[in-house]
């Protein structure tokens, strides 16, 4: 593993590439589409030292925009660690404020049968009117983050923004609240029938099972 010189300011892109979080190959995404780039943020978040640098970059942007939350909530599993790191960076930057909560929302099946719904469990809860930043590691369609924004709103708390490490939608996602991200990418994704990598004869791998 390449070690990063954390004394140097690093862009999110440099950091992701340095730790091997930015994978290139031929991937089959959860959406069923194929693509040549996959960002596995847990490869950087496994090192809190580096994750905190990214979290601090997000917090600096949030403060500039006057978006200071009381709680940070992210959808499991992708946002696990990231929500904690962002809350820790907020606490470090604004020590005079009350401590910031970090909560992951868990995937559940809701009453309507939606198997990809989210809930806050484990005895944790948001207070009415609490300002909440929803975080995600990588947004592709933003569907998970949007569900968590709705969950926060239904709980009576106030979603004030969404914060991601990477927005790979090319800035096409509209959450209806400010969306702050460290890196915006517009990476092509293909239907299998139109995938140039399939046409060249290689087989796609599911990123989670990739050891590359």
Site for Zn ion, rule CB under 5 A: 34, 195, 197-198, 204
Give the integer Cα–Cα distance in Å for 82 and 77: 10
3 state SS for 56-91: HHHHHHHHHCCCCCCEEEEECCCCCCHHHHHHHHHH
Give me the least distance between CB of 187 and Zn ion, in Å please.
14
Residue in the shown chain whose Cβ atom is closest to Zn ion: 195
Give me the least distance between CB of 40 and Zn ion, in Å please.
19
Rg (CA), the chain: 18
Give me the least distance between CB of 190 and Zn ion, in Å please.
6
Task: Give, in order, the Cα–Cα distances in Å from 96 to each of 49, 73, 129.
Answer: 23, 21, 20
Instruction: Pick the closer one to Zn ion by CB: 142 or 204.
Output: 204
Instruction: Pick the closer one to Zn ion by CB: 27 or 179.
Output: 27
Instruction: Pick the closer one to Zn ion by CB: 110 or 194.
Output: 194
Give me the least distance between CB of 168 and Zn ion, in Å please.
17
Give me the least distance between CB of 197 and Zn ion, in Å please.
4
* CA-CA-CA-CA torsion sign (116, 76, 44, 139): positive
> Of 155, 139, 68, 61, which Cα lies nearest the Cα of 105?
155
Give the integer Cα–Cα distance in Å for 86 and 106: 18
Instruction: Pick the closer one to Zn ion by CB: 122 or 203.
Output: 203
CB 70 within 8 Å of CB 143: no
Instruction: Pick the closer one to Zn ion by CB: 35 or 78.
Output: 35
């Amino acid at each position: 593993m390449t070690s990063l010189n954390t004394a140097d300011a690093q862009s999110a892109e440099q950091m992701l590439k340095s730790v091997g979080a930015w994978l290139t190959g031929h991937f089959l995404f959860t959406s069923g589409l194929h693509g040549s780039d996959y960002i596995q943020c847990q490869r950087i978040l496994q090192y809190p030292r580096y994750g905190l640098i990214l979290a601090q970059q997000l917090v600096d942007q949030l403060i500039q925009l006057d978006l200071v939350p009381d709680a940070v909530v992210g959808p499991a599993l992708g946002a696990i660690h990231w929500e904690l790191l962002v809350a820790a960076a907020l606490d470090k930057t604004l020590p005079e404020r009350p401590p910031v909560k970090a909560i992951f929302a868990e995937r559940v099946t809701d009453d309507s049968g939606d198997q990809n719904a989210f809930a806050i469990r484990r005895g944790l809860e948001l207070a009415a009117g609490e300002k909440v930043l929803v975080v995600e590691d990588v947004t592709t369609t933003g569907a998970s983050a949007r569900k968590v924004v709705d969950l926060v709103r239904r709980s009576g708390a106030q979603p004030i923004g969404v914060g991601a490490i990477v927005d790979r939608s090319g800035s096409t996602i509209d959450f209806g609240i400010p969306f702050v991200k460290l890196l915006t990418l517009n990476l092509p994704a293909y239907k299998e029938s139109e995938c140039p990598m399939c046409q060249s004869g290689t087989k796609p791998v599911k990123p989670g099972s990739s050891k590359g």
